[in-house]
């Protein structure tokens, strides 16, 4: 009878053993697969008289549950033995694993982007390996222009027209040549210059440049953006000062100082007693730059500004050696765990 078969199987399953994973799989197939013993009993259950269905149905469910539990138990035993046989990796870090931190340059970069995004500026990006046109010529650097000597450039030896970009202005050029105003972009990125590495200079560093081109853009618009940025970045009491300067891609051009955020403008060693610290260059986009990049300079005007992220980071966190940003000293990076 079916109930006798079930009782025999209950005793049989209780004593099941398996020495290998293959043997365990064979047991699973034998008892629990679609062609297994228990499934066959389920088929026979349809022929059981109505008065016996409740008793035998309970026995069948008990058998199936017991078989599943036994297979799971044997499987768990195999997994425990496998883990016990694994030798510990002595090169792994101790537990718990310490959480990492954002790099200080990324913290400041994201903060700058966030400030300008509130003013409607959108991100733009471009290649670090560039051609001479987008880095220099489209930015109003003539072939014999002395301003080319302002920046020491890394040239690709096999292709003298291909260089590592010295500023992210090349991104501005690429956007202008394919986009008509209004243009309002911010261009963060890494740049390269052939300079001796020291505590105050490096052969690569990071810049953020902003460009706004539209009808009736004025220097007053630029000044208001600069003031907003300075006060959002360094505090609402920050004052700005603009000094005339020269850049081939802007006219008029200026350099911007902020009141020293360490001494509050009273004069200290950091600001060399002046109460002011230079942070960026800016100006109205030169009409030639607009023309070279396919924009009508009679109809549109614009302003541009650029700053070094390392410079801003130095001011916010008083890091006195630029080399620390690229040395990946964990002790230095841990100092920024509480920074957002």
For residue 130, the surrounding DSSP H or E stretch is strand 129-131
Please tell me whether residues 62 and 129 are part of one structural domain: no
CA distance 109 to 335: 17
pLDDT at 63: 78
Cis peptide before 250 (omega within 30 of 0): no
- For residue 231, tell me if it sits in a domain: yes
pLDDT at 230: 94
Which token pair is 331?
């002790």
CA distance 271 to 43: 90
Secondary structure (DSSP) of 201-233: B-SEEEEEEEEEEETT--HHHHHHHHHHHHHHH
Which token pair is 231?
């006060």
The pTM assigned to this predicted structure is 0.67
- For residue 241, tell me if it sits in a domain: yes
Please tell me whether residues 240 and 311 are part of one structural domain: yes
- For residue 286, tell me if it sits in a domain: yes
CA 214, chain centre distance (Å):
31
- For residue 280, tell me if it sits in a domain: yes
Please tell me whether residues 234 and 117 are part of one structural domain: yes
Please tell me whether residues 118 and 36 are part of one structural domain: no
pLDDT at 171: 93
Please tell me whether residues 207 and 284 are part of one structural domain: yes
Please tell me whether residues 57 and 191 are part of one structural domain: no
pLDDT at 227: 96
Beta strands 122-123 and 183-192 are parallel
- For residue 89, tell me if it sits in a domain: no
- For residue 295, tell me if it sits in a domain: yes
Nearest Cα to Cα of residue 249 among 292, 295, 311, 312: 292
pLDDT at 84: 65
pLDDT at 147: 56
Please tell me whether residues 24 and 135 are part of one structural domain: no
pLDDT at 112: 95
Please tell me whether residues 67 and 199 are part of one structural domain: no
Tens of pLDDT along the chain (340 residues)?
Answer: 677 777 787 788 788 887 777 888 888 888 888 778 877 777 776 777 777 777 777 877 887 888 888 888 888 877 776 666 667 677 777 666 667 778 889 999 999 999 999 999 999 999 989 988 888 889 988 777 765 555 578 778 777 788 888 889 999 999 999 999 999 999 999 998 887 787 777 888 899 999 999 999 999 999 999 999 999 999 888 999 999 999 999 999 999 999 987 777 777 777 788 889 899 999 999 999 999 999 999 999 999 999 999 989 888 888 878 888 888 788 888 787 765 5
Range of the domain at 161: 104-336
Please tell me whether residues 126 and 68 are part of one structural domain: no
- For residue 98, tell me if it sits in a domain: no
CA angle 9, 14, 16 (to 5 degrees): 95
pLDDT at 68: 86
CATH code assigned at 266: 3.30.930.10
Please tell me whether residues 166 and 37 are part of one structural domain: no
Please tell me whether residues 143 and 188 are part of one structural domain: yes
Instruction: Please give the tally of structural domains in the chain.
Output: 2
pLDDT at 96: 67
pLDDT at 228: 96
- Which of 84, 113, 130 is the endpoint of a domain? 84
Please tell me whether residues 319 and 207 are part of one structural domain: yes
- For residue 47, tell me if it sits in a domain: yes
């Amino acid at each position: 009878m079916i109930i006798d078969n079930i009782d025999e199987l209950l005793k049989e399953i209780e004593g099941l053993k398996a020495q290998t994973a293959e043997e365990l799989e064979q047991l699973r197939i034998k008892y629990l697969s679609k062609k297994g013993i228990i499934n066959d009993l389920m088929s026979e259950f349809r022929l059981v008289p109505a008065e016996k269905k409740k008793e035998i149905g309970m026995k069948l469910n008990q058998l199936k549950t017991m078989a599943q539990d036994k297979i799971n138990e044997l499987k768990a035993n195999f997994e425990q033995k496998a883990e016990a046989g694994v030798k510990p990796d002595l090169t792994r870090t101790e537990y718990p694993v310490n959480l990492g931190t954002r790099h200080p340059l990324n913290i400041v970069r994201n903060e700058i982007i966030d400030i300008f995004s509130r003013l409607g500026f959108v991100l733009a990006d471009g290649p670090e390996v560039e051609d001479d046109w987008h880095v220099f010529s489209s930015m109003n650097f003539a072939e014999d222009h002395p301003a080319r000597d302002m920046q020491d450039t890394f040239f690709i030896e096999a292709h003298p027209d291909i260089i590592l970009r010295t500023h992210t202005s090349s991104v501005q050029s690429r956007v202008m040549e394919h986009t008509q105003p209004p243009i309002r972009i911010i261009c963060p990125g890494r740049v390269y210059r052939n300079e001796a590495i020291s505590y105050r200079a490096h052969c690569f560093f990071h810049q953020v440049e902003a460009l706004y081109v539209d009808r009736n853009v004025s220097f007053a618009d630029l000044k208001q953006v600069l003031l907003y940025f300075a006060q959002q970045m360094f505090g609402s009491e920050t004052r700005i000062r603009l000094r005339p300067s020269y850049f081939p891609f802007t006219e008029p051009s200026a350099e911007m100082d902020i009141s020293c955020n360490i001494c509050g403008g009273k004069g200290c060693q950091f600001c060399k007693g002046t109460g002011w610290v230079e942070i960026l260059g800016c100006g109205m986009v030169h009409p030639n730059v607009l023309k070279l990049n396919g924009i009508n300079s009679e109809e549109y005007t614009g302003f541009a500004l650029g700053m070094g992220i390392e410079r801003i980071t130095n001011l916010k966190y008083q890091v006195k050696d630029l080399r620390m940003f690229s040395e990946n000293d964990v002790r230095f990076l841990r100092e920024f765990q509480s920074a957002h």
